[in-house]
Amino acid sequence: MENDARDFNKTAIYLSRNPLGIIALFIVLVYGMASLSLVFAKIPDSYFGIMLYFLVLFPVIVLFIFVYLVVWHTAKLFAPSDFANQQNYVDLINKEIFAAASLAVASTKDRGAEGRVDIGNIVSVIRESSGRSRERNSDSRRHLLWVDDRPDNNVYERKAFEAVGIKISLSTSTNEALDMIRSGEFGAIISDMGRKEGPKEGYVLLNALRSMGDETPFFIYAGSNLPEHRREALSRGAQGSTNNPQDLFEMVTRELMNA
């Protein structure tokens, strides 16, 4: 018994080093106490059924919560010591900070956007993207085509995408973009609206793609975020339209993660 107690203490100390282990300890504690109470405690008949339901349903609830955490909050389940090389953890945090800073800078630029900088939301989206990027590092679909005749306007937005492991190819015209699409595979396409070729060249590219039968997710990143412009983009077959860097980052990364 003494050895068993020692072994349990060592296991508990080891598990308490990261959030996933703490969750496991909590589950064992709650389920164990409930089971002991059911066997040894004098529980009134009116509560006996409730305890039985709890013992049956508790593992199911825990399973759903665990799946949710693994799918949407992977990066939060591990401590630095869980990484084979703790430097990898430091690098991950640095990338998240860099991506958040890049989006914050992009959000303050004078491009007619709403100008809001929601740091909490930025960090949440980036952590979610970082967790999935480690799972999909070899996925060729994590390749983004960005079409804009003035790419210098989107430097910080691109840095944020690259910080979470998304490769970006640039194009400055519709014809060049179509040639690149025919010769390569992209997980998503971001396009501005007006270019030297015309004031609605973003839609020209979108229409050309859809007429070819190409269903690559398409996002408009332009100077307007009016509801009627968003509705028009969706009606033409785009997956989204915005002038806000944070919204763009969230829409595109989630599309790529689900691809």
Q: What pLDDT was estimated at residue 138?
A: 43
The model's pTM: 0.60
Q: How far from the centroid of its chain's Cα atoms is residue 113's Cα? A: 22
State which of 11-20, 121-130, 158-167 shows the largest mean pLDDT.
Answer: 158-167
What does the alpha-carbon distance between residue 48 and residue 59 come to, in Å, rounded to a whole number?
Answer: 18
Rounded (5°) CA angle 112-113-116: 140
Question: How confident is the model over 20-47, as a mean pLDDT?
Answer: 72
| Band (165; pLDDT cuts 50, 70, 90) | confident
pLDDT at position 112: 46
Ordered structural domains, the chain, with CATH: 2-72 (no CATH), 84-257 (3.40.50.2300)
Using 50, 70 and 90 to split pLDDT, how confident is the model at 113?
A: very low
